[in-house]
Chains A and B, each alone.
Chain A
Amino acid sequence: MKKKFSPPRFSRRSFLKTAGMASVAAGGAGLGIWGYKDGKAPESYSGWESFQGATQYFNRKSFAVDTPTYRKVGESSRVDARSEVIFYRFSELNRQWRDETGVQGLASPWQEYYLQHPAELELDLQLKKEIFPKYRQDEQKYGSRFLLATAWAQAMGAVSPRPIDRPPEESDFPRGEEYGEPKTPLPMKDRKKTSLLIKQVAYQLGATLVGIAPLNPDWVYLYPMKNRGFDPASPINVPKHWQNAIVVGTPMSWDPFFANPNYGASDDAYSRSRIVAFRLAAFIRALGYAARPHTPGTAYDLMVPPILVDAGLGEQGRHSVVITPELGSNFRPAIITTNLPLFSDKPIDFGVQDFCKTCKICAKQCPSGAITMEEPSAIRGYLRYQLNISKCHNFWYSKLGNIGCRICVTVCPYSRKANWIHKTALQVISRDPTHLSKQVLTQLQEIFYPGPAPQDYYMPSLGGKNASYREAPWWLRSEDFISW
């Protein structure tokens, strides 16, 4: 005879216990899945998700300070762009150098500079004579791997306003009613309101970060860059209408950035920042005020990092790049100098100076050794970390992919996406007066987010392995799309 089915006896208490255990498991699984989605979410790609200003989400008020976090320690001097900006100096060396005449064959001021800085001469010649030929050779052999990344960079750089090449007196001021730019400035009601307006417009134009500061003349180049409308042989007289500096910043695309070097150059952020700056300058001129964009790569008349610090966007780190709370160092800025009356932002101190003292991850990971492990030293009258720009520049051509390098920016613990882990860590280290969390989180950064050995980033002919920090995003893996 068939046995009658009887359901197992399951008491109320047993049910509660089983449901409790199952709930713990299901709750954990739910949180894990939520975390996975949060890690992948487009919202964590700060600066690529919104044009509404929500991108500058860190509340700076409690970190505002009266004086910037760099320190003046002596008489200041301005930068001679001809010899101190590597692109200018190296292009002149490359053009003028003859082995037969050596340094003596160089024109002024490069001859004087190299005589005073023989180590820089050696490094710059090393690039010209040793590294370039090897780069060309390796590029032929292994370069196809980076084809899509190069195409992406070219695409981003393809749309670009023509750089300003006329002197400020000609280029900065409104052209007249016929161009929609009144010659007489419109009377603005209130500086504070005007600043809010400018920021909102900048966000709407695509800026992720916006800050305003009075322009410190110390940051204006003593001698100008090429093709900026100045007489290259005469010092720049800081124009009177360069009263305020508006800083705008946009991030480099996150996935290619994390796959450095070098899946995508900085052209994406360069291009976006340039476009925002030119549009914002046009907006200001339409109000009847003077405005001059200073934009990447080389169309500047001034030093950018200290202006970012003045405008309260961040602090300058050990790697010399400004670290912001929202994007870390993963961004590229542009500046608009103007006489529009504006209310300035205050500089901020959210603990970067202390953090950089002990962290040193960028210095350890930099293959070229350009970033110092030492304490800050006086440079042109200001205390800051020394960066050997010639070593840095040489490495740009010592690995394949796009020209440039962003390893220090990538490995910086502040350059993380905006998910709950990194947002929480940022809040903790910014507010911890004991500095204990800074040390713990730096250790955790090294344990949890390791990178390749610095030597592995080099191209094969220089003893490297063409390593990248992380795997390239799927859409930049040339081998998956192109057959050779």
Chain B
Amino acid sequence: MDILHSGFIWFGEGILLVLALTGIKTWCEDRGVRLRFWSWIPIVLWLFLFGFTCTFIGTSLGEGESVAAVKGGIILGLITLISAAGIWRFLLQLRPSAPDPNKIKEAMENETETK
């Protein structure tokens, strides 16, 4: 049986997708990014773009269109990289902002004075 022409490939891709999403969630949590439900939208779209890029390159090579594979790979690859960086920077903005050290100092001084 040709695995690539059976439903098994999509079963495998499904497992890999779940693992990828779990990994991204853990990665974000460790960097203090709390993912809300809507912040998954750019992540899923990016994964789709990444998959599209890989499939486009593969298919173009398969049908003997190497120019399409190279040009498509460069254009889509750049878009994928730039969008990954953009999404990551956007997600970092979602981190709860750390308290201002000056304000902490001020509060501590006030507390001492009260005592």
Chain A interface (Cβ < 8 Å from any Cβ of B): 13, 16-24, 26-41, 44, 258, 417, 419-421, 447-450, 470-471
Beyond A28-B51, A421-B56, 6 additional contacts (C-beta under 8 Å) are A27-B51, A32-B55, A35-B58, A35-B60, A40-B63, A419-B63
Q: How far is the CB of B62 from chain A (nearest CB, A)?
A: 2
A-B CB contact pairs (8 Å), 25 listed: A13-B26, A19-B22, A19-B23, A20-B19, A20-B21, A24-B23, A24-B50, A26-B16, A27-B47, A28-B50, A29-B54, A30-B13, A31-B51, A32-B55, A33-B4, A34-B4, A35-B59, A35-B60, A36-B62, A37-B5, A39-B59, A39-B61, A40-B62, A448-B67, A450-B67
Q: Does B82 contact A (CB under 8 A)?
A: no
Partner of A448, one of B16, B20, B68: B68
The reply to whether B61 and A36 contact each other, CB–CB distance below 8 Å, is yes
Partner of A449, one of B20, B21, B30, B65: B65
Contact residues in B for A32 (Cβ distance below 8 Å):
54-55, 57-58
The reply to whether B59 and A19 contact each other, CB–CB distance below 8 Å, is no
Cβ proximity bits B8-40 to A, threshold 8 Å, 1 near / 0 not: 010011011101111110110010000000000
Q: How far is the CB of A133 from chain B (nearest CB, A)?
A: 36
Q: How far is the CB of A284 from chain B (nearest CB, A)?
A: 38
Q: Which of B90-104 contact A (CB under 8 A)?
A: none
The reply to whether A17 and B26 contact each other, CB–CB distance below 8 Å, is yes
The reply to whether A17 and B30 contact each other, CB–CB distance below 8 Å, is yes
Interface size class, chain B? 35 or more
Q: How far is the CB of A39 from chain B (nearest CB, A)?
A: 2
The reply to whether A20 and B13 contact each other, CB–CB distance below 8 Å, is no
Known: A21-B23, A24-B47. A33 touches B58 (CB 8 A): yes
Q: Does B72 contact A (CB under 8 A)?
A: yes
The reply to whether B55 and A31 contact each other, CB–CB distance below 8 Å, is yes
Contact residues in A for B58 (Cβ distance below 8 Å):
31-39
Contact residues in A for B72 (Cβ distance below 8 Å):
448
Q: How far is the CB of B7 from chain A (nearest CB, A)?
A: 12
Known: A13-B30, A448-B71. A420 touches B59 (CB 8 A): yes
The reply to whether A18 and B63 contact each other, CB–CB distance below 8 Å, is no
Q: How far is the CB of A411 from chain B (nearest CB, A)?
A: 13
Q: How far is the CB of A24 from chain B (nearest CB, A)?
A: 5
Q: Which residue of chain A is the closest to B55 with respect to CB atoms?
A: A35
Partner of B13, one of A31, A420, A449, A471: A31
The reply to whether B23 and A20 contact each other, CB–CB distance below 8 Å, is yes
Per the bound structure, the CA–CA distance linking A20 and B27 in Å amounts to: 9
Q: Which residue of chain A is the closest to B65 with respect to CB atoms?
A: A449
Q: How far is the CB of A450 from chain B (nearest CB, A)?
A: 6
The reply to whether A20 and B54 contact each other, CB–CB distance below 8 Å, is no
Contact residues in A for B23 (Cβ distance below 8 Å):
16-21, 23-24
Contact residues in B for A417 (Cβ distance below 8 Å):
63
Q: How far is the CB of B64 from chain A (nearest CB, A)?
A: 7
Per the bound structure, the CA–CA distance linking A19 and B63 in Å amounts to: 32
The reply to whether A421 and B19 contact each other, CB–CB distance below 8 Å, is no
Per the bound structure, the CA–CA distance linking A391 and B61 in Å amounts to: 35
Contact residues in A for B60 (Cβ distance below 8 Å):
35, 39, 421, 448
Per the bound structure, the CA–CA distance linking A16 and B67 in Å amounts to: 38
Contact residues in A for B12 (Cβ distance below 8 Å):
30
Contact residues in A for B51 (Cβ distance below 8 Å):
27-28, 31
Q: Which residue of chain A is the closest to B14 with respect to CB atoms?
A: A27
Q: How far is the CB of A20 from chain B (nearest CB, A)?
A: 1
The reply to whether B63 and A448 contact each other, CB–CB distance below 8 Å, is no
The reply to whether A27 and B67 contact each other, CB–CB distance below 8 Å, is no
Per the bound structure, the CA–CA distance linking A419 and B16 in Å amounts to: 24
Known: A19-B23, A20-B22, A27-B17. A421 touches B59 (CB 8 A): yes
Contact residues in A for B4 (Cβ distance below 8 Å):
33-34, 37
Per the bound structure, the CA–CA distance linking A17 and B22 in Å amounts to: 8
Contact residues in B for A421 (Cβ distance below 8 Å):
56, 59-60
The reply to whether B20 and A20 contact each other, CB–CB distance below 8 Å, is yes
Contact residues in A for B53 (Cβ distance below 8 Å):
28
Q: Which residue of chain B is the closest to A18 with respect to CB atoms?
A: B23
Known: A13-B26, A32-B54. A23 touches B59 (CB 8 A): no
Contact residues in A for B63 (Cβ distance below 8 Å):
39-40, 44, 417, 419
Q: Which residue of chain A is the closest to B23 with respect to CB atoms?
A: A20
The reply to whether B59 and A470 contact each other, CB–CB distance below 8 Å, is no
The reply to whether B26 and A420 contact each other, CB–CB distance below 8 Å, is no
The reply to whether A258 and B67 contact each other, CB–CB distance below 8 Å, is no
The reply to whether B71 and A27 contact each other, CB–CB distance below 8 Å, is no
Contact residues in B for A470 (Cβ distance below 8 Å):
64
Per the bound structure, the CA–CA distance linking A258 and B20 in Å amounts to: 39
